[in-house]
Amino acid sequence: MRASFRYNHIDRKPLGDMASTIITLIVGNPQMDVHYVHRKGDKTFCFDTVDLKRELDDVPIDHAKVVQFVREEILKGLEELGHLF
């Protein structure tokens, strides 16, 4: 699935807590891959479970420590974009 929303479009609702949304997708569907790209102006944040799973080897992506790491990485990336929650 792919969704694109322009920041200044009148019909775009606030995104809300994207870190929790992505975590929910990962924990509920650990076999599924998530590729999240967030652009704001000339800045881009990307998160990809394919790359993460490759680095984890045999550690499950839905392991509690991995989930906490993912949450922190997403929050850090969005903060660098200036995305306010």
What is the share, in percent, of the chain residues with pLDDT greater than 70?
Answer: 96
Please indicate, yes or no, if residue 7 is contained in any of the structural domains: no
What's the total number of domains in the chain?
Answer: 1
Contacts of 64-67 with CB under 8 Å at 24 or more apart are 67/23, 67/26, 67/27
Can you tell me which residue has the tokens 């850090």? 76
Please indicate, yes or no, if residue 6 is contained in any of the structural domains: no
DSSP assignment letter at 11: T
Q: DSSP 3-state assignment of 38?
A: strand
Q: 37: which strand partners?
A: 46
Please indicate, yes or no, if residue 77 is contained in any of the structural domains: yes
Please indicate, yes or no, if residue 59 is contained in any of the structural domains: yes
Please indicate, yes or no, if residue 4 is contained in any of the structural domains: no
pLDDT-derived band at 34 (thresholds 50, 70, 90) equals very high
Q: DSSP 3-state assignment of 77?
A: helix
Domain hosting 74: range is 18-81
pLDDT-derived band at 85 (thresholds 50, 70, 90) equals low
Full-model pTM: 0.80
State how far the Cα of 51 lies from the Cα of 7, in Å rounded to an integer: 27
